[in-house]
Structures are given as C-alpha cells and as structure tokens.
C-alpha cells in the first residue's frame, strides 16, 4: 500500500480558498467549532487532520485581520497626534 503524503501549503491554500472570503466573526466562530470537534476526540484521523489544517487557515485569517485592524488604529492614532 502506498503511503499517503500530507498536503503541502499550495494544496491547503486551494482547499481552503473560501477562508479568505469569511468575515473575522465567521472565521472565529468556525474556528471555535473546529476546536470543540477536535477536543471531542471522536473524529477519524484523516478528518481530524483536515479540520486541523482548516483551523490553521482560519487562525491565520483571523490573525491577519486583527493585524490589519491594529495597523489601521496605529496609523489613525499617529495621523491625529499633534505635531
């Protein structure tokens, strides 16, 4: 039987392309649901690994969204500061 290889970053990006379209709140809520499923420990290994990878994509999306919001706040604050 041939060994199955893990998907690389390009496969993950294609598999989870829809994550980029999610709002922060939708991504966070889905990530929370995935964590609950994984913590339940009742998933088959392959499904657990797929959910883990999707969770990673969701977490990265949320982090990027929050980093962008922080950058906007910082830029707004520095723009309104007296010279």
Ranges of each domain in the chain: 24-72
Q: Is 38 exposed, middle or buried (0-12, 13-18, 19+ CB in 10 A)?
A: middle
pLDDT tens digit at each of 83 positions of the chain: 445 555 554 555 678 889 999 999 999 999 999 999 999 999 999 999 999 999 999 999 999 999 999 999 998 877 665 65
User: How much is the pLDDT for 1?
Assistant: 47
Q: Indicate the DSSP class of residue 83.
A: -
Q: Is there a contact between 22 and 30 (Cβ–Cβ < 8 Å)?
A: yes
């Amino acid at each position: 039987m041939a060994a199955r290889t893990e998907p690389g970053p390009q496969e993950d990006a294609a598999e989870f392309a829809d994550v980029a379209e999610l709002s922060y709140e939708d991504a966070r809520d889905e990530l929370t649901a995935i964590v609950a499923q994984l913590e339940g420990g009742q998933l088959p290994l392959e499904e657990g690994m797929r959910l883990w990878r999707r969770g990673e994509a969701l977490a990265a999306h949320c982090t990027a969204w929050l980093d962008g919001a922080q950058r906007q706040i910082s830029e707004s604050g520095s723009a309104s500061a007296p010279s």
